[in-house]
A and B are shown apart, each in its own frame.
Chain A
Amino acid sequence: MLDPRRRSPLAHRMPIRAASGAVSLAEWPFLSKLIVRCQAGRDATAVEAVTGVALPTTACTSATAGERSLLWLGPDEWMLVAPDGEAAALETDLRAALTGPHTQVVDVSDYYTVITLTGARGRDVLARLVTIDLHPRHFAKGRVVGTLAGAVNLLVWLRDESDAAGPVFDVIVRASMADHVWCLMAEAGRAFGCPAQEPRGGERLRGALEDVA
């Protein structure tokens, strides 16, 4: 049962949009997220039967079917994302389907939140924060990487990309770090007209950006 009083980690942040329209930030709250650990060769069909999504076995890729996606996190580890409210049932069904040794299914919906970065300059904003090559030749639609921005571990997922809308990045970040990363991304977007965002914790952002510049 979903508690009607629940608050997302970035409930205090309104979506922001650069005056130029080239960068927008918004939280994607309450997305269902589950960590699935299993052996691809043995369990791929079982995972697909429950989720409807084919298990991606190529490193740093994702697979999507309908509103559900599986993100590769490691050779035996994936993150399943699904619409709000589906986590409990998926967790139960996946646990029933994955019975072999070295399998694990954990609902981490409340542990992470998602910051969606859209706009034509999305790649340039992220390029100021991470050391990943974000050129479209290397970082195409569906790619997902775990990496480091300043002192924060996060997942960067290029969920969608089209000529009309530009890249749609989802940055999946731990709840306790969400406000810091939100402000860090806004700071990185200042060059493209993003409004400044003051960190709730009062930490300096400029230093974190210079470290990776």
Chain B
Amino acid sequence: MFLIPCPYCGTRDQSEFAYGGQAHVARPEDPASLSDAEWAEFVFFRDNPKGLFAERWNHASGCRRWFNVLRSTASDRIYAAYEIGTPPPAIEGDGPATPSGEVVGSGNDAVKLVKTADEGTRP
């Protein structure tokens, strides 16, 4: 559970919100001209990054408005909440990364940090 800053009501508990998946997925201008593969790409395929992810939330129990959130899927840290129709703010980085490129903040951090300092030797 975490707190989500609704751009209209302020910070509220996650239980008041409903999740809406990846943000900024534009509907194709001319769906009829798409191949089946391209249409399937639009309908079914979504990014699944470890790290910063722009996603839609709905304040279902509060003002019932949709908005976008920039969240790290690794640490659940929320970097920004912004209105639908506006581009995501430019956010620099997401904390220190491990040698394999993973974001610190998920899994066993102690092990990852040790690996960072000692080139892969486990304690």
Chain A interface main SS type: strand
Contact indicator per residue, chain A 35-79, by CB within 8 Å of chain B (1) or not (0): 000000000000000000000000110000000000001110100
Interface size, A (range): 10 to 19
Which 4 A-B residue pairs are closest in the complex by CB-CB distance?
Answer: A74-B63, A131-B13, A148-B61, A146-B62
Segment of B4-12, B48-56, B96-104 in the binding face: B4-12
Q: Is the CB of B63 within 8 A of A146?
A: yes
- Look across to chain B and name the residue whose beta carbon is closest to the beta carbon of A60: B9
- Look across to chain A and name the residue whose beta carbon is closest to the beta carbon of B15: A148
Q: Is B109 an interface residue (CB 8 A)?
A: no
Q: Among B12, B62, B64, which residue has the most Cβ atoms of chain A within 10 A?
A: B62
Residues of A within 8 A of B63 (CB): 59, 73-75, 77, 146
Q: Is the CB of A153 within 8 A of B9?
A: no
Q: Give residues of chain A (137-157) contacting chain B, Cβ–Cβ below 8 Å.
A: 145-148, 153
> How far apart sit A146 and B63, CA to CA, in the bound complex (Å)?
7
> How far apart sit A77 and B10, CA to CA, in the bound complex (Å)?
17
Q: Is B115 an interface residue (CB 8 A)?
A: no
> Residues of A with Cβ closer than 8 Å to B?
59-60, 73-75, 77, 131-132, 145-148, 153
Known: A148-B15, A148-B16. A59 touches B9 (CB 8 A): yes
Known: A59-B8, A74-B8, A75-B8. A145 touches B62 (CB 8 A): yes
Interface size, B (range): 10 to 19
Residues of A within 8 A of B61 (CB): 146-148, 153
Q: Is B65 an interface residue (CB 8 A)?
A: yes
Known: A146-B62, A148-B61. A60 touches B12 (CB 8 A): no
**17 more A-B residue pairs beyond the given contacts A74-B64, A131-B16, with a C-beta to C-beta distance below 8 A:** A59-B63, A60-B10, A73-B63, A75-B63, A77-B64, A131-B13, A132-B12, A145-B9, A145-B62, A146-B62, A146-B63, A146-B64, A147-B12, A147-B62, A148-B13, A148-B15, A148-B16
Residues of A within 8 A of B62 (CB): 145-147
Q: Is the CB of B16 within 8 A of A74?
A: no
Q: Is the CB of A131 within 8 A of B8?
A: no
Nearest chain B CB to A136's CB is how many angstroms away? 17
> How far apart sit A148 and B4, CA to CA, in the bound complex (Å)?
14
- Look across to chain B and name the residue whose beta carbon is closest to the beta carbon of A131: B13
Nearest chain A CB to B81's CB is how many angstroms away? 13
> How far apart sit A1 and B65, CA to CA, in the bound complex (Å)?
35
- Look across to chain A and name the residue whose beta carbon is closest to the beta carbon of B62: A146
Q: Give residues of chain B (11-65) contacting chain A, Cβ–Cβ below 8 Å.
A: 12-13, 15-16, 60-65
> How far apart sit A145 and B59, CA to CA, in the bound complex (Å)?
12
> How far apart sit A153 and B61, CA to CA, in the bound complex (Å)?
6
Q: Is the CB of A147 within 8 A of B64?
A: no
